[in-house]
Chains A and B, each alone.
Chain A
Amino acid sequence: MINKAIFIYFAAVILLSAVLVITRKNPIHSVLFMLLLFFHIAGVFVVLNAEFLAAVQLIVYAGAILILYLFVVMLLNVETESKASRANRYWPWAAGFGLLVAAEIALLVARGTFPLDTAQPMRLGASGVKELGIVLYTRYLVPFEIASIILLVGLVGAVMLAKKRSSE
């Protein structure tokens, strides 16, 4: 009962902040609402006893990715960004696809069952780190390695782009 109330709180804040991310005029406020969103997603993981995922959510998304967004956004001129028009000429396409996805989600939600109602959340006290590690390094080893190679390629690419060519 209490779990459900807490979940509803997190879900409500997630939806609200997701809407605010795209409606705020000031890009910095958008990024900060995104931070609120990530924080509450971590909260949902905690409700499901998946503490490890909650911590990873905060460390990776909030601590690494979003803060770089914030850096970039802070280099923009907030005054002009706030006054810039919110849509370009492709907006009907975007709206159409958005509606399509929203309809799909609505359909899935109407048909689906929710883990919080039927299935058990993770066992309390089992952080899942060990299980996750074992599964990642045995069953999903190849996808895991591919993901790390993709990240490495991204890293090398960024360095190549930023590097000054001394010969030219």
Chain B
Amino acid sequence: MPDIYQMLNIVSSHVIPVVVLLVFLLINMMYLPYVERKVLAHMQSRLGPMRTGWHGLLQPIADAVKFLMKEDVIPAKADKWVFKIAPLIVLAMAFGAMVVIPFGPPPDSLGLLNKEAPLFVSNLNIGVLAILAFASVGAYGVIMAGWASNNKYSLMGGFRSAAQMISYELPMAFAIITVVLMAGSLNLSDIVKAQSERWFIISPVGPVVFFLYLISGIAETNRVPFDLPEAESELVAGYFTEYSGIRFGLFFMAEYTNMIVVSLLASIMFLGGWLPVQILPQTLGHIAPIAFINKMLAAIPPTLWLLAKLYLFIFFYIWLRATLPRYRYDQLMAVSWKFLLPLSLGTLLVAAGMKQMGWM
């Protein structure tokens, strides 16, 4: 029965990855806010949510029920269609970027079907560019939300956010292009493979590129210290001031999905993706205890390594939020255009030169 095999193939290569990815994202979107509140609280000597469940573990469910049950208020003078579509665009683009991210090498041990079950939804050859494309369209959702609310704070927030996203897209794109240059491929799996000898963060220009990517990635996701669009002391809540109920929830979910995308991309491009941590395999690898530790580290499944790196970055995000004050708007723009952009252009030039000379 070839038809059944064909259908099984489609299910295993398309349906299952999509479902798994959605479940992963939904669980993360529920529990990352909880983790954030908890970590923030402990950094500030508080306890955080404690009432719902053991140490507040059921808090996300309570929050989700609240989002769903609250009235969905649409301002009378709002542009109804644009107002309704805006959060969907933001969330859909965040999900779209997740589609091209590989969560590990294709497993060959799973011989259940005649085709390997992939750990990605789509192994696009232009993976990195697809993420940039989705990110650039995501800015529309924010600016639409700000405009359609017909509220001056929302509009200001939307404009700020769009300007910020456009400004920081440039250094981010140049940082990504530098990585692509080092790896010689736009495919994310190939970028990981190119790091099997040495992670890009410890390659000659790696630290600078990593710094550029991290700063502009934080700015792209509108997080502290770049959360100008929703600066509550001046703009109430920025572009989603007028949103309530589940539509507000959608913006919330999109923010966390974007954090996950940026963190995953950082792990894949600089920290070797799903490659395990190894203690100096080239120089000290032959010494018995170190070789043993390296073997043990390599035995941990690749996907767990990627997730560990992902949550490292998420923790970093939360840490920043607990630590840093917000930038002023003109400082924000100056940092992007006068510091990050020239630096990223220079880095790209240096990296291209080194690649040409064969030093990398």
Interface residues of A (CB under 8 A from B): 26, 28-29, 32, 35, 39, 42, 51-52, 54-56, 58-59, 62-64, 67, 70-71, 74, 125-127, 129
Contacts and interface: CB of A to CB of B under 8 A. Distances in A.
16 contacts: A28-B82, A28-B147, A32-B82, A32-B140, A52-B126, A52-B129, A58-B133, A58-B134, A58-B137, A62-B136, A62-B140, A63-B139, A70-B143, A127-B124, A129-B126, A129-B186
Contacts of A35: 137, 140
A127 B169 CA distance: 23
Query: Top 3 nearest A-B pairs by Cβ distance?
Result: A63-B136, A127-B125, A58-B133
A55 B140 contact: no
A67 B133 CA distance: 13
Contacts of A63: 132-133, 135-137, 139, 166, 169
Contacts of B133: 42, 54-55, 58-59, 62-63
Given A28-B82, A63-B133, A67-B162, A129 B125 contact: yes
A70 B186 contact: no
Nearest to B170: A64
Range class of the B interface residue count: 20 to 34
B82 A125 contact: no
- A28, A35, A42, A59: residue with the most chain B Cβ atoms closer than 10 Å: A59
A32 B144 contact: yes
A52 B185 CA distance: 13
Contact of B140 (A56, A64, A67): A67
Interface string B137-170: 1011001100100000001000100100010010
Contacts of A129: 125-126, 186
Given A127-B125, A129-B125, A129-B126, A59 B136 contact: yes
Nearest to B158: A74
Contacts, number: 73
Interface of B: 79, 82, 124-126, 129-130, 132-137, 139-140, 143-144, 147, 155, 159, 162, 166, 169, 186-187
A62 B166 CA distance: 12
Given A32-B144, A63-B169, 18 more contacts: A28-B79, A32-B140, A42-B133, A51-B125, A51-B130, A52-B125, A55-B132, A62-B133, A64-B136, A67-B139, A67-B162, A67-B166, A70-B140, A70-B143, A74-B147, A127-B186, A129-B125, A129-B186
A125 B147 CA distance: 40
A125 B132 CA distance: 20
Contacts of B126: 51-52, 55, 127, 129
B83 to A, nearest CB: 12
Contacts of A54: 133
A43 to B, nearest CB: 12
Contacts of A56: 129
Nearest to B129: A55
Nearest to B128: A55
A26 B155 CA distance: 17
Nearest to A38: B137
Contacts of B187: 127
